[in-house]
Amino acid sequence: MENNKSAVEHHKYSERLTELEKRSVAAQQRQRNKKSAKAHIGNKIHGIKVKRYVSNGERVLKLVVLFSLILLLMLYIISPYSKVKNLEVNGNHDLTKAQVEKETKIYPGRFIWGVYLGRHQIINDVKKQNPQIKNLVIKVTGPQSLQLVIKENALLGTAVMNNDTYAVLANGQLQRTKTADNGIAYKRFDGHREALATTAGQLGKLKPAIRNGISSVSYQPTKEYPDRIIIYMRDGNTVYADLNTVGDKLAYYPAIAANMKDKGVIDLQVGAYSYSYDSKDK
């Protein structure tokens, strides 16, 4: 009886001991887990700090670079290196480089950034002030270099109206001038400025080879042909034409003149036909 009792107590003691060992092992495991968690959190915090330092460093570097560029730009703007040193003018024929500089107010010594930033206003102003300038392109070709590309309204000749001399441009506009050139002489247009502008605009459509063959143009309307002009060619021929259509019809002048045996008249007012000066069939 006593042996059975002892065996039962021994079994209970063993179970109790096993339970205590399990608790001890669990406690030790929890302790290790806590340490591991703390170590993981510490590593994570360290990683976050490193990333933050790197990110801050990048921000600072970017700001330093940005402000350095701004500082360099400001120094360039106020320095002599931002002034125009080389100015190239292309596309001009009747206008000289000096005239282009005067009209555009762009010249060596002017700040290049001021010209570039205000280029649109400069172009608008110069086209209004001088109708001889049809278009203007301003290009920056270097730190101190500019290029002005001019497109002109060709100068066709001159006309005297009301005792004033006008340069006649290819777009039909008239520009007061003090000198006459060797281009087309426009005669008998006094008091007929609109007719002169229309005639000039038509002749401006012609190829230079044909246009340069014109010596003078005279406005001589009749009752039958109220818009008649008479064109005197440098080769000796005379052309009768309508000022509203002369630009299109005179384009065929070289072919018509080539088929003429003698110098004479080419009538382009209605259709197109020609006859020699000494012909009786006029």
Global confidence as pTM: 0.65
86 within 8 A of 145, measured Cβ to Cβ? yes
> Tens digit of pLDDT per residue, the chain (282 long)?
555 556 666 666 667 667 767 776 676 777 776 666 555 565 667 667 677 777 777 788 888 888 788 877 776 667 777 788 999 999 998 889 999 999 999 989 888 888 988 999 999 999 988 888 999 999 999 888 999 999 998 889 999 888 888 889 988 888 888 776 678 999 999 889 999 999 999 999 999 999 999 999 999 999 999 999 999 999 999 999 999 999 999 999 999 999 998 999 999 998 888 999 887 555
Beta strands in 125-227 (DSSP E): 133-142, 145-152, 155-161, 164-169, 174-176, 184-187, 214-219
Cα 233 to the center of its chain, rounded Å: 40
DSSP H or E stretch at residue 229? strand 228-233
Q: How far apart are the first and last CA of the chain?
A: 166
